[in-house]
Each structure stands twice: as C-alpha cells, then as structure tokens.
Amino acid sequence: MLEGKKLCMKCSRVRNADDFYKRKDGTRLELCKDCVTLHVDNFDPETFTWILKDLDVPYAPWQWNFIRDKAVAKNPNLKGNSVLGKYLSAMKLKQWKTYGWADSELLQQEHDLKNKVTEEEREEQDKYWKEKLESGDISEAQYKTLTSAETQYQEMVNKPAEIPAESNNPYGDGSNFIDESLLVDVGAELTDEDKVYLAMKWGRLYKPNEWVEMERVYKEMEQSFDIQDADTINTLILICKTNLKMNQYLDCSDIEGYQRLSRVYNDLRKSAKFTAAQNKDEKDEYVDSIGELISLCEREGFIPRYATDIPQDKVDATLKDMNDYVKKLVTQDLGFGQQIENALKKIQIQKEMEESVDQETVELTDNDFEEYYKNIEEQKQLDEAGEN
C-alpha cells in the first residue's frame, strides 16, 4: 500500500489515511469516514454507538446532544459525520481522553448523580427563599433575583387561573368557559357553493368555522389596505392562515408555538406592508376622493405642492431642458467662457491670414516666364566660361 494511503473496504477507493477514523491503538477503521457514517442518524444512538465502541471512545449522551443541538442550530440538514467528527475531537480533551467505551455507564451514573444533587440543592435553596418571601423577610424583587429561573417558570406555569365564583358563572359548571352546545355553528349556514369556494381558497384541511374566521380577517384586511397584485393576495392568504394558527396556539397556552408563529406573522405583514403605520403613511400621502380634495383646498387654499408651471407638451419640455442645460453650461462652467474667447481669436487669426495671402498673390505673364528662362540660360553660359 502507498505511504499515507489506505483502501476503503466498502467503496474500494484508495484514500488518504486521514479520511479514516483512528483508534486509540493507532490503527484506523477499515471503512472511510464517508462510508462508516453513511447510515448514521444523529438522533438515534444505535446508529453510531457501534462506531464509538470500535474506536474505544466513551458515549456521553449529554455531550453528544450538546454538540448535535449546536450544529443543528446552524444547519438543520446535517450529514452523518458532522456530529461524530466534532464529538471525537471533544473526546480527545483532557477531561475525556482517559476514558474508554467501557467507562460509558460509569460516566452516565456520575452525571445523573451530579444532576440529582445539583437539582436537590437548587430546590432546597429556592424553598428557603420562598419561606423568606412569605414571612416578609425579603421583597419580591429579591426573591426573583435569588431563586432559579426554573422555579420561577414552574410557578408561572402552575399558577392557578382566576376563575369567577360559581354564583357569578352563568353556565353553572364551575368554570369560566361557555358550553359548546350554547355556541352558534357558524358553518351551518354555508351553502355547497360556499364550501367549495372556501375549500378552494383556504384548503380542505380546515373546519367550516375556521374558513369563516379566515375569510373575516381577509375581508377586513382587504378593506384596510390597497390590494391589487396576485403576490400580495397570496401573502394575505398566508397571513390569515398564520393568524388563525397563532390564536389557536395561544388559546391552548402553547406560548412557545405562539411566539414562533408571531414572528412569522410579523414578517409576512412587514413584507407586504400590511401595517398600521404603513397604512397611515399612505393615507396621509394621497388624496383619493373629491371630498378630501375639497376639504384640502378649503383648509390650505392655494396648494403649491400640486401646482406646476412646467410646460406639459413634450416639445416644450425638451426645449426647456435644452435651455436649462445651456444656461448651466455658460453660468456654472467657469472655463467655458475662456474656451469661447479662444475659439473666436483663432477664427479671427485664420481670417486675417487668408486675407493677407489673397493680397500678396500676383498673376504671372508670358514676359515673366521669358525673363526667367533667359536668366537661367545666361547663368549656364557663365558657368561654362568659367570652366574653360
């Protein structure tokens, strides 16, 4: 085998040795990391504990869950080796490296005992502060500061609801809830055509009274906001469905579910600009009726914001733009005047040169040519005489 290379017994590929998990004795697994974690489910210990046993690494569920949950928060679509690799790295730390697979049960027992002792100490301490609060030795603010969040949460969840006395309850059942038989079935008056329409619009997985509730919210939103395009309509349908589910979570005291849907609900409204502030801005910005226009005129008189002296004809608008451009070019471009002056000087100089050339030009006659050739002949004779 090549140095630093290893053959995977499953995929039959020769890979780098680092692509295989390493045992404590220095040997490496027979399968590469991709193959050995092919069927690992990070939420099912049976799918990965056999790998930890082969590697002689202890299984500490609380540590595994901590690493897994942290990774899931960043990427819900985890691969099989995403948690295992981080867990093996953590097991190499000082607090874990002396333990092996055989110590898994002992570690679990120690962890449970530690948690039990910690929980008992916490409960005893919180009970002490509760007695101090009831006796008046400490204030409620001190109590909330000194007690654990778990105890305060349990007190809030288990706090009995304030139910009116039975004598004041018109339903006579000792509760504050209206009997279902006394409620009006809002879906009973729906015709078959109404049911088909609502099922097509909202889906078949809703009850008739839920259809009616979503339709009511839809109509109210439609009257409050300007809804024109299909994308906004689809967003409004999602808003109505989310509003229904959000209220159902709140009605059954599922605060966590309500908070999640509340964030979705607010994001949908903001994306489609279905907010009271946006609606107010739009109403304040535009005049969309004759009555508002008359009222505005009576209140403000002349309205310069809506007046304009710009020509409405395209040709006039073009000429105005050109005039404005030339004006800015002449008045704001400091070097433009000098350029014009230099150009005028060059034109004047060129004109003067042309006039001077015209004045100096003399037309030649036949006598001028005869005299020219005669001079050439005389010069030639003188040259020959000088040579002799």
List, in order, residues 6 or more apart from 58 with CB less than 8 Å away. 52, 91, 96, 99, 100, 101, 103, 104, 107
**Collapsed DSSP state (helix, strand, coil) of residue 15:** strand
Q: Is the pLDDT of residue 37 over 70?
A: yes
Specify the pLDDT at position 265.
Answer: 86
Beta bridge partners of 28: 22
* pLDDT interval class at 171 (50, 70, 90): very low
- What one-character-per-residue DSSP string does 277-297 give? HHHHHHHHH---SHHHHHHHH
Helices then strands, counting H and E runs in the chain, come out as: 16, 2
Residue range 335-345: mean pLDDT, rounded:
77
CA 148, 149, 151 angle in degrees (round to 5)? 70
CA 133 vs. chain centroid, Å, equals 46
Q: Report yes or no: 246 and 217 within 8 Å, Cβ to Cβ.
A: no
Report yes or no on whether pTM surpasses 0.95.
no
Other beta carbons within 10 Å of 151 = 18
- CA nearest to 279, candidates 222, 230, 235: 222
* pLDDT interval class at 272 (50, 70, 90): confident
Specify the pLDDT at position 50.
Answer: 93
Q: Is the pLDDT of residue 362 over 70?
A: no
- CA nearest to 338, candidates 346, 328, 326: 346
- CA nearest to 6, candidates 15, 30, 37: 15
Between residues 10 and 148, which one has the greater pLDDT?
A: 10
% pLDDT > 70, the chain: 76
Question: For residue 374, with 0-12 CB atoms within 10 Å meaning exposed, 13-18 middle and 19 or more buried, which class applies?
Answer: exposed
Specify the pLDDT at position 164.
Answer: 43
Residue range 187-204: mean pLDDT, rounded:
83
Specify the pLDDT at position 170.
Answer: 45
Specify the pLDDT at position 205.
Answer: 84
- CA nearest to 201, candidates 240, 231, 248, 227: 240
Q: Is the pLDDT of residue 307 over 70?
A: no
* Alpha helices per DSSP H over 168-254: 192-202, 208-224, 230-251
